Amino acid sequence: PVLVSSVDGVGTKLKIAFAMKRYNTVGQDLVNHCVNDIAVCGAVPLYFMDYFATGKLAPTVTEQVINGFAKACKENGCSIIGGETAEMPGFYPAGEFDIAGTIVGVVDKKKIVNGKNITKGDVLIGLPSAGLHTNGYSLARHVLIPKISLKKKFAELNGTLGDTLLAVHRSYLKPIQAVTSKNLAKGMSHITGGGIIGNTMRILPKGLKLKIDWFAWQRPFIYDLIQSVGQVPEYDMTRTFNLGVGLIFIIDKKNVDAVMRLLKSKKEKPFVMGEVI
């Protein structure tokens, strides 16, 4: 067995939580992000530890955040075994805090998924994201917050701008386990900062490239809103945001139909979105 670990935060998504005074989702974001980062190696999470830092503790706020940690840990079948709560007067603006988390998981050495067997002709299968997840918030806030209220409702968003921006970063552990349990994944990428290409190129063997079909899925409205309001160049959109794709499997061409059926049987909405060239 091999231990696999990851450390992460949720970045400036916290600024949206502060503005909305809604703190029960960011803890889930953090756990799920960490789980995905080790799950793409084939690992199963064992335990999670958190770091919560603020100027002055507000018990009701802290409780909401920790409840989020606990909820996501339960959903992912891992334990929250402890952490550190730091109270640092004068260090953070009133009402603000920062969080970080560490996750440790395990995988059998022979079952590690690292992309080394990826070859030309392999196919990319994407799974939808639940929103921005935890990346691109500095750009999104810079573009949207000065011009649009977080309370503004959009029919295309089925709710307010704030609701959409706080949508929980989803966990892909279950669909990943479904595919890896049958040894069908040659590689997997969790689409975070760096976008689809930045994250997926990392797992390709030297000399291979990606051919993405950018029209294979419907780009969610929130990205059209960010791009139009901020006049953001397409290049910056593709390297900053997940654009509606949260996870990518790289699959042998002959196994594509089997993987698509398997994911659909798990109530997922997979789509073929490109190939390795």
pLDDT in tens, 29-46: 999 999 999 999 999 999
Residues 245 and 146 in one domain: yes
Over pLDDT 90: what percentage of the chain?
99
Q: What does the pLDDT read at residue 186?
A: 97
Mean pLDDT on 138-163: 95
pLDDT tier at 92 (50, 70, 90 boundaries)?
A: very high
Nearest to 133 by CA among 33, 44, 223: 33
Q: Is 222 within a domain?
A: yes
DSSP 136: S
pLDDT in tens, 48-90: 999 999 999 999 999 999 999 999 999 999 999 999 999 999 9
Number of structural domains (the chain) is: 2
Which of 81, 111, 141 is where one domain is finished? 111
- Spatial contact of 209 and 277, defined as CB atoms under 8 Å apart: yes
pLDDT tier at 256 (50, 70, 90 boundaries)?
A: very high
Residues 155 and 261 in one domain: yes
Residues 148 and 84 in one domain: no
Q: What are phi and psi of 139, to 5 degrees?
A: -70, -45
Q: What does the pLDDT read at residue 32?
A: 98
Residues 272 and 224 in one domain: yes
Q: What does the pLDDT read at residue 6?
A: 97
Residues 91 and 129 in one domain: no
Structure tokens at 31: 């756990």
Q: Is 147 within a domain?
A: yes
Residues 245 and 135 in one domain: yes
Residues 91 and 144 in one domain: no
Up-side HSE of residue 147: CA atoms within 13 Å toward CB? 10
Structure tokens at 249: 């499997």
pLDDT tier at 148 (50, 70, 90 boundaries)?
A: very high
Kindly state the helix (H) or strand (E) to which residue 87 belongs, with its residue range.
strand 79-87
Q: What does the pLDDT read at residue 181?
A: 94
Q: What does the pLDDT read at residue 220?
A: 96
- Spatial contact of 24 and 64, defined as CB atoms under 8 Å apart: yes
Q: What does the pLDDT read at residue 49?
A: 98
Q: Is 68 within a domain?
A: yes
In terms of C-beta density within 10 A (0-12 exposed, 13-18 middle, 19 or more buried), how is residue 251 classed?
A: buried
Domain extent, residue 72, equals 2-111
Which of 87, 111, 135 is where one domain is finished? 111
Mean pLDDT of the chain: 96
Residues 187 and 76 in one domain: no
Q: What does the pLDDT read at residue 129?
A: 97
Q: Is 173 within a domain?
A: yes
Q: Is 149 within a domain?
A: yes
Q: What does the pLDDT read at residue 52?
A: 97
pLDDT in tens, 151-210: 999 999 989 999 999 999 999 999 999 999 999 999 999 999 899 999 999 999 999 999
Q: Is 116 within a domain?
A: no
The CATH number of whichever domain residue 40 belongs to comes to 3.30.1330.10
Report the distance separating Cα 245 and Cα 136, nearest Å.
14
